[in-house]
Amino acid sequence: MAQFESGTPAPRIGKIKGDILAHAVASEVLGITGQQRALPKNQGKTIVHRRYLPWGASNTDWNTRNRPQANPVAHELTEGVTPGADTLVPQDIQVTLKQYGCLYQLTDQTVDTYEDDVPAEMKKQCGERIALVREMIRYGVLKACTNVFYAGGGASRAAVNAKISLNLLRKISRNLQANHAKRITGILSPSAMIATKPVEASYLVFVHTDAEADIRDLQGFVHVSAYGSRKPVHTQEIGSCENFRFITSAELAPYAGAGAAIGSTGLTGATNVDVYPFIMVGEDAWGQLALRGSDSIDPTYIPPGVKDKSDPLGQRGYVGAKFYMACTMLNEGWMAVAEAGVTAL
């Protein structure tokens, strides 16, 4: 196991010490949406969500499942005749928690002789690392949504040869509304409790920061600076266009070289186009499950000097954290993924 020792890196004692410089910090954006559920302790690791297929909908795919139909003629009653009885069609979605964690190790000599507050820096980076792991769990689930639209009009990721466009946004908006996808009216509040705060109704779009220039070029785009009394849903929201509000994050990486040949497309990529998922979310499209609460992070700090059978002289210390988490799609018809290239600048 790697550990932080007093001689590595070299100490700065006897030298002019500069500041501990800031480092890159990953951001969490996806967690402001989705159903947040807490599984009580000692109740197992699995939860089963259930919905019933609406009357008249076909259990074929996520578009047909969200489009109920009713023929009035078929519901006319005949005098004195009992109508035929119907039943319900359940759809179960099972989610199982997984445990994640990270651990840092340091020595007693580091604490006793080193001038930097190494435990404090480890605690800080442990929290940042856990945040990034949680975001990658969410991203892995959401970008796998099967309600996919490809820029350029192709039928697969390998055919993507265009950037995001207003026409594609309108096509997706039409699909979401046909599927009865509600616009998001509340986001997860930044508190220890599972609570929401109200926002103006819209579909939220999450995408890599590389796409910002193309989003700004959309006809009708409104930058957050022009919102007036309208409040951004996240510090990384850049603006809105029609039914969509855009939040960017450098953590939402593209599928490198997964699109069509670069040719004269003017898009980023080496030989083939880099394909960026634009994750478009409506109300209750996906869910996040945790143990004991929305965060349920169990931190650990064992300072050097604590003696036990495994470390009788107390020479080692540890900083770490563990947590339980699972994410799942709840209704893929209430969200969509647009896969598009971005303009090479």
Q: How many CB atoms lie within 10 A of CB 47?
A: 18
Q: Where does the pLDDT of residue 9 fall: very low under 50, low under 70, confident under 90, or very high at 90 and above? A: low
As a whole number of angstroms, the distance between CA 149 and CA 131 comes to: 29
Q: Where does the pLDDT of residue 59 fall: very low under 50, low under 70, confident under 90, or very high at 90 and above? A: confident
Q: Classify burial at 101, counting beta carbons within 10 Å of its beta carbon; exposed 0-12, middle 13-18, buried 19 or more.
A: middle
Q: Where does the pLDDT of residue 11 fall: very low under 50, low under 70, confident under 90, or very high at 90 and above? A: low
Residue 196 pLDDT > 90: no
Structural tokens at position 85: 């009885």
User: Which pairs count as long-range contacts for 123-127, CB under 8 Å and 24+ apart, including other chains?
Assistant: 123/299, 123/301, 123/319, 126/102, 126/299, 126/319, 126/320, 126/321, 127/321
The region that residue 319 occupies, defined by phi over 0 for left and psi between -120 and 50 for alpha, beta otherwise, is beta
Residue 175 pLDDT > 70: yes
Higher model confidence: residue 37 or residue 332? 332
As a whole number of angstroms, the distance between CA 226 and CA 328 comes to: 35
Least confident of 13-27, 166-180, 213-227: 13-27
Per-residue pLDDT of 91-143, as tens digits, reads 999 999 999 999 999 999 988 888 788 888 898 998 889 989 999 999 999 99
Percent of the chain having pLDDT more than 90?
Answer: 64
Cis peptide before 83 (omega within 30 of 0): no
Question: In this structure, are residues 101 and 320 in contact, taking their beta carbons and an 8 Å threshold?
Answer: yes
Does an H or E element contain 223, and which? strand 222-223
What's the confidence (pLDDT) of residue 333?
A: 96
Q: What share of the chain is helix, strand, coil (3-state, %, to 5)?
A: 20, 35, 45
Instruction: Give me the helices (H) in the chain, please.
Output: 108-113, 118-142, 166-178, 212-216
Percent of the chain having pLDDT more than 70?
Answer: 89
As a whole number of angstroms, the distance between CA 333 and CA 114 comes to: 56
Tell me the residue length of the chain.
345
Residue 288 pLDDT > 80: yes
What's the confidence (pLDDT) of residue 20?
A: 42
Q: Where does the pLDDT of residue 229 fall: very low under 50, low under 70, confident under 90, or very high at 90 and above? A: confident
As a whole number of angstroms, the distance between CA 63 and CA 48 comes to: 22
Residue 154 pLDDT > 80: yes
Structural tokens at position 51: 């919905």
Q: Where does the pLDDT of residue 35 fall: very low under 50, low under 70, confident under 90, or very high at 90 and above? A: confident
Q: How many CB atoms lie within 10 A of CB 289?
A: 25
